[in-house]
Amino acid sequence: MRGKELQNKEEVYEKEVKPLVDQLYELCEKHDIPFVAACQTSDTDFIGSCSLPDDAADQMKLIVLILEHGAPKVLMSLAVEQAVEHTPVKMVD
């Protein structure tokens, strides 16, 4: 999504999405489940939440670092390539 479609969704995030993310965060913290969530609220802004126990996988730690600091395009394409090749992901509808 770009431009008019995205604009600034921070208010929607705060009112409708954040309460759900907070519930997920609490459950994951309680059960030591690594958790990372990110929402894009404008063309340049992201809001996220994470809970990473010490034994969280390196992939989860990398996702958090990329969300916190951004990533050069080369690193991003390498991360995507390696994630697709080596990390099975269970998709839930």
Select from 67, 57, 4 the least CA-distant residue to 37.
67
How many domains would you assign to the chain? 1
The answer as to whether 91 is a domain residue is: no
66 belongs to a structural domain = yes
42, 7 Cβ separation under 8 angstroms: yes
- So what's the pLDDT on residue 43? 81
> Which of 25-29, 52-56, 86-90 comes out lowest in average pLDDT?
86-90
Which of these ranges, 5-9, 31-35, 43-47, 54-58, has the smallest mean pLDDT?
5-9
Q: Answer yes or no: is 38 within a domain.
A: yes
Helix axes 73-86, 58-69, angle to 10 degrees: 150
- Residues 7-28: tens digit of each pLDDT: 678 889 999 999 999 999 999 9
Residue 62 lies inside a defined structural domain of this protein: yes
Higher pLDDT, 90 or 77: 77
In a domain, 20, yes or no: yes
Q: What is the mean pLDDT of residues 50-71?
A: 83
13 lies in a domain? yes
CATH number at residue 77: 3.40.1810
Q: What residue numbers bound the domain in which 16 lies?
A: 3-86
